[in-house]
Amino acid sequence: MSLAARTREAVADRPFLVDALRAGVANYTAVARFLDVEGDVDAVATALRRFADELPPYETAEREARVTMEGGLGEVADRGDALFVVGDTALAPTGGSLQGVLATGDVDAAALAAVLRQLSTAGVTVEAAGTAGDVLLVVVDRRSGADAVRTVEGTLEAVPNRDH
């Protein structure tokens, strides 16, 4: 496998580096050292530059969605009223200690990925998350509900395009 191919493979294993290369904010020499691809650091940096030149530019798009909060979520046995179901776990309004942040509209897995990344950056722990159709749901602790709503709203204003 060529140095360029090994470099691309190493970058592909770290999506945040793909984003940095697409955005033009990566220091190629620092990334080359970080990747620890076998070969001369300058050669790896050159391979990174060439790879970055081939990537589409980093762009974002606003997503039109209404964001609301559903308080008092907890686990339920009856899945009929559940907002969230995965495996044996179903969450519904029960007076529980969790908050659901619902975004309804132009949402998808890319929007959910962006929301989860931003919530993590904001220090908000997500208890559950999912998307289906035109609904995105993140479930957080009651104390984090307001921060989660603001973060979801802000994130949906600029969701990264994943055209690569």
pTM above 0.85, yes or no: no
Q: Is residue 163 very low, low, confident or very high in pLDDT (cuts 50, 70, 90)?
A: low
Helix, coil or strand: residue 140: strand
Q: 17-57 pLDDT, tens per residue?
A: 999 999 999 999 999 999 989 999 999 999 999 999 999 99
Q: What's the mean pLDDT when you consider all of the chain?
A: 94
Q: 76-133 pLDDT, tens per residue?
A: 998 888 989 999 899 999 999 999 999 999 999 999 999 999 999 999 999 999 999 9
As a whole number, mean pLDDT of residues 136-153 equals 96
Residue 162 has pLDDT above 90, yes or no: no
Contacts of 79 (CB under 8 A, 6+ apart): 85, 90
- Please report, for the chain, the start and end positions of each structural domain, with discontinuous segments joined by +: 3-54, 61-160
Class of the 61-160 domain? alpha beta
- Give the residue, 139 or 164, on which the prediction is more confident: 139
| 18 phi and psi angles, rounded to 5 deg | -60, -45
Q: What pLDDT is recorded for position 52? A: 96
Q: Is residue 164 very low, low, confident or very high in pLDDT (cuts 50, 70, 90)?
A: very low
Structural contact between residues 92 and 102, judged by C-beta atoms closer than 8 angstroms: no
The token pair that represents 146 in the structure block: 């307001």
